[in-house]
Amino acid sequence: MCAIAGVSTGIGSVISLFAKKTDKSFLSFALSFSAGVMIYASLTEIMNKSVSSFNCTYTEKQSSLYSFLCFFSGMILILIIEKLLPENDNKLNRTGVYTALAIGIHNFPEGLATFVSALKDPVLAIPITFAIAIHNIPEGIAVSVPIYFSTGSKKKAFFVSFLSGIAEPLGAVIGYLLLRKFMSDTVFGILFGFVAGIMTFISMTELIPSSMENEKHDKSVPGLITGIAVMALSLYLFK
């Protein structure tokens, strides 16, 4: 189940690779679409997961505070990583790598959560798996588009996107072998809060600016709105 959910990022990658490398309109739309997906998922679904995880141990007010602190800690973490990494003249490629990193980190605890759900109730885990698979498809687009347009390599774009999805079953395997004795609701709350901050930061500092810098930037706003709508609809339909 975790593997099915994770490799669905590859489906999104395949969809995006049908575009022509010279199609600047698609690039602008896809980058802002990806930002819409990540921002909406971060500020609603992932932050809700963080707060609800903290709620298992702390009061509602404390949970909101801890989730908020983790969110901004995630932003600070990715900012520090950006400062430490060497400069890369290929901004699109950097954007794709950062996005893959953020989604991979997000998929890791998500895979562990799917695994735990399946252990408790395999029947309940089936719709959860399907829902995760559906919203992993636009995440695959978010990773592969900037890498493909910056390198021209469909293989590299697909491979990096696929790797970010593999974090899902990897999270399940490591959780089973190593972390099941140490994982707690608080740890899940911290992880989800961090991930939400990282994904929001990347969207605002990498994806949206890259979309707006494109000469076909008139597609940026429609792309952003469409990304938000697609993620909202997928979360609504597969709750």
Among 9-23, 59-73, 107-121, 140-154, name the one with the lowest average pLDDT. Answer: 107-121
pLDDT at 59: 96
pLDDT in tens, 22-71: 567 877 888 888 888 889 988 988 899 899 999 999 999 999 999 999 99
pLDDT at 135: 66
The CA-based dihedral angle spanning residues 204, 63, 44, 189, taken in that order and rounded to the nearest 10 degrees: 80
Confidence of residue 113 (pLDDT cuts 50, 70, 90): low
Tell me the mean pLDDT in the region 145-161: 86
pLDDT at 225: 95
Angstrom distances, CA of residue 160 to CA of 39, 96, 174: 21, 9, 21
Sign of the CA dihedral with 169 first, then 93, 141, and 227 last = positive
Among 112-126, 171-185, 192-206, name the one with the lowest average pLDDT. Answer: 112-126
Rounded to two decimals, the pTM is 0.73
Assess whether pLDDT exceeds 70 at residue 85.
no
pLDDT in tens, 215-237: 667 889 999 999 899 888 877 87
For residue 194, with 0-12 CB atoms within 10 Å meaning exposed, 13-18 middle and 19 or more buried, which class applies? buried
Among 31-35, 42-46, 181-185, 199-203, name the one with the lowest average pLDDT. Answer: 181-185
> What integer best gives the mean pLDDT of the chain?
82
For residue 21, with 0-12 CB atoms within 10 Å meaning exposed, 13-18 middle and 19 or more buried, which class applies? middle
